[in-house]
Amino acid sequence: MARKPVEWPPRVFLARSCQAAMKILLSTVLCLCLASAWADHDDDHHDVPDRCLGLEMDAVTVSEEGMPFFFKGHYLFKGFHGKAELLNGSFPELDTADHPLDHIDAAFRMHFENAEDHDHVYFFIGDKVFAYYKHKLEDGFPKPISEVFPGIPDNLDAAVVCPMPDCEENEVIFFKEHEIYHFHVGNKKVEHREFKTMANCTSAFRYMEHYYCFHGHQFSKFDSKTGEVHGRYPKEARDFFMRCSNYSGETDDLERERCSHVHLDAITSDDAGNLYAFRGHYFLQRDGNNDTVKADTIETSFKELHSEVDAVFSYEDHLFMMKDNNLYKYKVSEPHVLAEGYPKPVKDELGLEGPIDAAFVCGDEHTAHVIKGDHIYDVDLKATPHVASNERPLSLIKKVDAAMCDPHGVRVIVGNHFYHFDSIQLFVAGKAIPEQHRVSMDLFGCDH
């Protein structure tokens, strides 16, 4: 007997229909939310600025630790290379949901030893100033600019600190369009001056005791008292203050590499006293006989390496160059010829996994001193197999960018500076860090 079709009671039918509709609605809403979230994520990704595209930075300063900070919109670039990160990750009060940030107008680090706010970092946004110490917002801030710096206008373009004797007194120089304000920190007196030979600054920066005015993605070095600009300026900021491969065509390779403030990746000198210094895609070579300097791409002279060397040392008329987990051995000659069988694993040649931070050999020794992290190792190059031994911690400098040994001692490069130690023992276990020297000026004769 055929079954009769089931006739649902009206209330049951209505309930099941509603359940089905709700499932469809929830699925649709979920899809829309996911699509919206993905779109937002994609938009955020595309909005992240790239310093190598020739950006006009909103503000530039150095942190309490001396690291350059470059600001653009909601983002912060730390140092001379690396990607942007969100500003509110480091200074959350500057960019909040209640007061979203468009851009920072100006920033500087107060750096007068006897000032109450020594090493405070100031940020200027509209008519407000924020003061940070050790990355924490000071009590009572933000405050009106007129309260903290009376006589200084709102909506500034740039600011830079100027200690004696660079300025006649300890001062802060503020820029707004064509107006220049010298604020005397001691008595809060303001002097108006005019810098006739310099374009309007979109940001300003004191670095290595020199003063730089940025206009767009170019900069000029200026006299802090007169504002005068000497030499061939403006210059491309990416050539000197950032590590970018797409350099401008207006700056020659030699000037850029000699005067760049970006740290070196590796450095060494050969038996003839020729110095080799590597940075990004380029290297500098200084002649040991007459101190002339030339620059070229790494790929031109060391074609198997292409770019970005981790460490290098010279031994028995060869350059041993490390990149990631590989070691390349080149004959010191013109052109530089890769030895047969190379590259080889760093582990096989030095007894350590790559990458290596720095390495050097002193004089006629047969020991390679290899730095990895904050430890140094010795490798006997005459022994077989090569084994990393005598591990010991570095006492004074915990992060080394490059190092070399010459007849005068050990030179250790950290950022834009190097330190000279009379012996490896003083470098490894010394009690006092020696005087800083500038890489660009003291090694390569640059004037800034």
Which residues does 37 contact at the CB level (< 8 Å), separation at least 6? none
Say if residues 322 and 354 touch (Cβ distance below 8 Å).
yes
**Dihedral sign for Cα atoms in the order 18, 24, 27, 29:** negative
Q: Which of 311, 392, 326, 404 is nearest to 358 (CA)?
A: 311
Percent of the chain with pLDDT over 70: 87
**Residue 232 shares a structural domain with residue 295:** no
Other Cβ atoms less than 10 A from the Cβ of 211: the count is 21
State the Cα–Cα distance between residues 49 and 82, nearest whole angstrom: 12
**Residue 140 shares a structural domain with residue 244:** yes
Whether the bond between 434 and the residue before it is cis, its omega within 30 degrees of 0, is no
**Residue 378 shares a structural domain with residue 262:** yes
Which of 445 and 411 is assigned the larger pLDDT? Answer: 411
Residue 387 lies in a domain: yes
Reply yes or no on whether the pLDDT at 82 is more than 70.
Answer: yes
Residue 38 lies in a domain: no
Residue 116 lies in a domain: yes
Residue 293 bridge partners (DSSP): 286
Residue 16 lies in a domain: no
**Residue 199 shares a structural domain with residue 295:** no
Given 221, 251, 281, the domain boundary residue is 251
Q: Look at residue 99 in the predicted model and tell me its pLDDT.
A: 82
**Residue 215 shares a structural domain with residue 349:** no
**Residue 294 shares a structural domain with residue 223:** no
**Angle at CA of residue 41, ends 40 and 42, nearest 5°:** 90
Six-digit token pair at 74? 């909601």
Residue 31 lies in a domain: no
- 89 by Cβ neighbours in 10 Å (0-12 / 13-18 / 19+) ranks as exposed
Q: Look at residue 45 in the predicted model and tell me its pLDDT.
A: 40
Residue 342 bridge partners (DSSP): none
Q: What is the pLDDT of residues 150-205, one digit of tens each?
A: 999 999 999 999 999 999 899 999 999 888 999 999 899 999 887 776 778 999 99
Q: What is the pLDDT of residues 406-438, one digit of tens each?
A: 888 999 999 888 999 999 999 999 999 999 898
Given 187, 221, 251, the domain boundary residue is 251
Given 209, 227, 251, the domain boundary residue is 251
Q: Work out how many domains the chain is built from and give that number.
A: 2
Q: Look at residue 448 in the predicted model and tell me its pLDDT.
A: 65
Residue 368 bridge partners (DSSP): 361, 379
- 115 by Cβ neighbours in 10 Å (0-12 / 13-18 / 19+) ranks as middle
Residue 28 lies in a domain: no
**Mean confidence (pLDDT) of the chain:** 85
In this prediction, residue 113 has a pLDDT band, given cuts at 50, 70 and 90, of: confident
Q: Look at residue 193 in the predicted model and tell me its pLDDT.
A: 81
- 375 by Cβ neighbours in 10 Å (0-12 / 13-18 / 19+) ranks as middle
Q: What is the pLDDT of residues 17-36, one digit of tens each?
A: 445 444 444 444 434 443 44
**Residue 284 shares a structural domain with residue 176:** no
**Residue 191 shares a structural domain with residue 282:** no
Reply yes or no on whether the pLDDT at 217 is more than 90.
Answer: no
Reply yes or no on whether the pLDDT at 1 is more than 50.
Answer: no
Q: What is the pLDDT of residues 325-382, one digit of tens each?
A: 999 999 988 788 999 999 999 999 999 999 999 999 998 899 999 999 999 999 999 9
Q: What is the pLDDT of residues 221-231, one digit of tens each?
A: 898 988 888 87
**Residue 370 shares a structural domain with residue 355:** yes
**Residue 232 shares a structural domain with residue 87:** yes
Strand 367-372 versus strand 59-62 pairing type: unpaired
State the Cα–Cα distance between residues 15 and 335, nearest whole angstrom: 84
Residue 45 lies in a domain: no
The CATH number linked to 127 is: 2.110.10.10
Residue 333 lies in a domain: yes
Range of the domain at 143: 54-251
Say if residues 122 and 174 touch (Cβ distance below 8 Å).
no
**Residue 210 shares a structural domain with residue 262:** no
Q: What is the pLDDT of residues 21-76, one digit of tens each?
A: 444 444 444 344 434 443 343 334 447 888 888 788 999 998 888 888 999 999 99
Say if residues 261 and 80 touch (Cβ distance below 8 Å).
yes
State the Cα–Cα distance between residues 160 and 213, nearest whole angstrom: 9
**Residue 414 shares a structural domain with residue 430:** yes
